Amino acid sequence: MKITGSKAIVLSLLQEEVDLIFGYPGGAIMPTYDALYDAKDRLRHVLVRHEQGAVHAAEGYARVSGKVGVCLATSGPGATNLVTGIADAMLDSVPLVCITGQVTSSFLGTDAFQEIDILSITAAITKWSCQVTSAEEIPSSIARAFHIAKSGRPGPVLIDITKDAQFGLLEFFYSPCKEQGMQVFPSMKVNSSLVKEAAELINRASKPYLLVGHGVLIAGAEKELLNLAEKAGIPVACTLLGLSAFPTSHPLYMGMLGMHGNYGPNVLTNEADVIVAVGMRFDDRVTGCLKNYAKQAKIIHIEIDDAEINKNVKVTVPFLADAKQALQELLPYIKPKNHPLWLEKFKQCAELEFKEVVEKEIHPSEGHIKMAEVIHSLSAKDDGKAIIVSDVGQHQMVTARYHAFAQTNSHITSGGLGTMGFALPAAIGAKLAAMNRQVIAVIGDGGFQMNIQELGVISQEHLPVKIVILNNQYLGMVRQWQELFFESRYSCTEMHNPDFVKIDEGYGIRARKVVDRLHLNEALDEMLEAKEAYLLEIVVEKQHKVFPMIPSGASVSEVRLK
């Protein structure tokens, strides 16, 4: 019996074990939405309030669940509204399948109503994309899309399906894709000679250093990473997206790398004699000035994407492999060792940073509430076990620095693209992926207003997401740069904000505003104990600056404490 292309889309998604999609209907995708009506008991659709919310929600769902996130949009503006989220997923290696409707194939190229060449627009920010113009192509295109999205280094793919293909008829047959195309980056067998060379470097090192990125979480290699660090006695630091891959309470954990990372992990990079980089890509926020980055070190780079090896930093031993696979191969050759003098250097740096920065941030004696004291208190109250979804800006760096992540895969944020407006919809996806865990979105007043409409999803779906707005009435990170590097010329960064509590109450969501630190702990308790969604707005210091900081273009050894 023949079925329509729109029903084939739904059946193909079910064959890929998809049970949740995010989207927004419109003319060119309407046949597929009609087919969803008959599958609503098997395939849950979450109606977002803007297509950017759909793709960020799909990202949050994929990051927490480990599955491929799926979103639907119509043609024209519906499709173009996905672009920022697709780019975000590409840079942060998030597996997504984005399906867009398109005008009838006979109208292609005529500038028809809501026609847009979305394949050309997204060519640089997808692993693969295709346009489907006949119903018969739908099952194989969807099968290939899922295979490419989740294989090797994950990422987003896009399928653009014309309206007549959705109406067309086909004999439905679905076969999962197993082909290995160029863009898939399949796992490679680890070269045994490289394994022995890397092990020898680690065994002989006096100042070894483990740099941990998002690839460890994607590969599920946390246990192997921990075993390597403990066996070889190597200090560990995480990138922003690598946070929660290694327990923050572990004595070998030294902190976060990067522009606003911890002092020791940054400054001691240029003293390490062997660096083992696992699932990270040496981006500029981690390396600072490349010509001065770790010139003294032998570098072992474990990375699944060959385009990242030797791209920014010349490496000694390249591992083109899945992180879990590579660490499993490496571990038997590693000799037990300790490095007390090297670890002592990290300890001394941590003590200096605590004295100069941390103590006054988490235990202020006077003045306005500080972001760091909020996050420090929140971390203590949730035992570091909540899934924290942060937006982009000062609060993002403070959250990364001061929340103690005690459970793996607990930190979701926009890294490579730095997308303001990410956190609220991503927290929706994260919560739907982990209904049994506390999900807390930490957002600045600027980023919150970029996708504020997604409060409607939280209300309609009855999702107990917790939202903390750290309101400093500024675009805080831009203001910090203006103060430090543009002679305090605060151009277009001060914000006149609405009453966030009233807006939330309008959506039927509990809300509270805190101005005085005397009420901070009580308000945090009330939020965490709430069984339903809750927004807590906390008015924080307006002219706060996040330190340490590596100025743009400076070396990691030039990190500033003030």
Alpha-carbon gap, residue 200 to 459, rounded angstroms? 57
H/E element holding 550?
Answer: none
The token pair at 194 is: 């490289």
Q: Please give the single-letter amino acid code of residue 352.
A: L
Positions annotated as catalytic residues are 51, 113-114, 163, 477
From CA 206, how far away is CA 226, in angstroms rounded?
Answer: 19
Q: Is 366 exposed, middle or buried (0-12, 13-18, 19+ CB in 10 A)?
A: exposed
Instruction: State the DSSP H helix or E strand holding residue 488, giving kind and residue range, or none if neither.
Output: none
Instruction: Enumerate residues 6+ apart whose C-beta is below 8 A from 59.
Output: 69, 85, 88, 89, 92, 94, 96, 422, 426, 429
- CA separation (Å) from 247 to 213, 275, 384, 405? 14, 20, 10, 7
Name the strand (E) or helix (H) holding 419: none
Helices (H), 507-557: 520-529
Give dist(CA 195, CA 199) in Å, integer: 6
User: CA 349 to CA 344: how far, in whole Å?
Assistant: 9
For residue 104, the SS3 value is coil
Is there a contact between 133 and 165 (Cβ–Cβ < 8 Å)? yes
Token pair in block for residue 17:
């074990």
